[in-house]
């Protein structure tokens, strides 16, 4: 556990030898660090893996004011606090879905001098009024009002629908249950506030100087694959890698491939820096 600049406590988890290259995993909207379990198992022998619960999620504190989730600097400071706690430098940030907003916040506030690279998985590229229609898939959480209700029957049913929509093929029973349970830990106020700001992240990613990799499921119905292409195009050193037949959670649907692609990206960026 670490504390951010406003006093919010952020839960963290780590695996692997701290002497190995570092990867910081940042989950998406209404999720939990546990979603990275299959990926962590495949990488912890070669990398220092750190994951965090976003503010309002999992075991992290859940402030009850919307401003705690709309302030870009706070998201940035959460990431910085986790990096400081685990002594992460030359770290690769990996963001799933809303994790792209969190990474963009860090870039906009702290720059990328401490980063080895950035990897987005089904990452969003804008929120609020800055989000364009082509960025949104038919299963976007912004389109289902029941995901924000305090009516528990409707909320739980909508959460189950959303988790179903996150993958092109059904998840195994245990993983699906964990994902639904993780969503249920996030209060409706937090779910709503996460999309409260208006921000186009493309200029921030365009200013990034470190390498970037955008992995996006070609069958993603939550965030359009075109959004992933646009994110990679915005990055000066970006590369777009689509996964055919995969939905919004490529690291869960094809963890072996995702682990191999992430590992190769980290190793290649370190070789380029050493050259």
Cβ contact 158:241 at 8 Å: no
What contacts 147, CB < 8 A, 6 or more positions away? 30, 141, 155, 158, 159, 162, 188, 191
Q: Which domains does the chain have, with CATH numbers?
A: 2-274 (3.40.50.1820)
Average pLDDT of span 177-203: 93
pLDDT of residue 181: 92
Burial class (CB within 10 angstroms; exposed 0-12, middle 13-18, buried 19+) of 26? buried
The pLDDT assigned to 270 comes to: 85
81, two tokens:
């606090």
How far is residue 44's CA from residue 137's CA, in Å, rounded to a whole number?
A: 33
User: From CA 75, how far away is CA 73, in angstroms rounded?
Assistant: 6
Residue 82: predicted pLDDT: 98
275 pLDDT higher than 90: no
Mean pLDDT of the chain: 95
Question: Is the pLDDT reported for residue 85 higher than 90?
Answer: yes
Does the pLDDT value for residue 229 go beyond 80?
Answer: yes
Exposed/middle/buried for residue 106 (C-beta within 10 Å: 0-12, 13-18, 19+): buried
Query: What's the mean pLDDT in 22-36?
Result: 96
**Distance between CA 173 and CA 170 in Å, rounded?**
9
In this predicted structure, what is the pLDDT of residue 271?
78
Model confidence band, residue 143 (pLDDT cutoffs 50, 70, 90)? confident
Q: Is residue 69 over pLDDT 90? A: yes
């Amino acid at each position: 556990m670490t504390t951010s600049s406003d006093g919010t406590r952020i839960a963290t988890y780590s695996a692997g030898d701290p002497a190995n290259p570092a990867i910081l995993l940042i989950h998406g909207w209404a999720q939990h660090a546990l979603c990275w379990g299959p990926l962590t198992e495949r990488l912890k022998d070669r990398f220092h893996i750190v994951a965090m619960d976003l503010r309002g999620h999992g075991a992290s504190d859940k402030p009850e004011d919307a401003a705690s989730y709309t302030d870009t600097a706070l998201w940035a400071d959460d990431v910085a606090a986790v990096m400081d706690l685990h002594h992460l430098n030359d770290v690769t940030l990996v963001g799933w879905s809303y994790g792209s907003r969190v990474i963009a916040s860090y870039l906009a506030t702290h720059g990328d001098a401490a980063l080895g690279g950035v990897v987005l998985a089904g990452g969003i590229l804008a929120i609020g009024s800055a989000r364009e229609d082509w960025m949104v898939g038919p299963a976007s959480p912004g389109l289902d009002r029941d995901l924000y209700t305090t009516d528990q029957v409707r909320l739980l049913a909508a959460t189950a629908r959303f988790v179903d929509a996150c993958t092109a093929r059904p998840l195994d029973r245990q993983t699906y249950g964990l994902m639904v349970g993780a969503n249920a830990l996030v209060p409706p106020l937090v779910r709503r506030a996460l999309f409260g700001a208006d921000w186009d992240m493309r200029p921030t990613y365009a200013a990034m100087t470190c390498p970037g990799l955008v992995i996006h499921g070609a069958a993603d119905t939550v965030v359009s694959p075109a959004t992933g292409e646009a994110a990679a195009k915005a990055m000066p050193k970006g590369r777009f890698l689509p996964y055919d037949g995969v939905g919004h959670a490529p690291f869960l649907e094809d963890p072996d491939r995702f682990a191999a692609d992430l590992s190769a990206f980290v190793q290649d960026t370190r070789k380029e820096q050493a050259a």
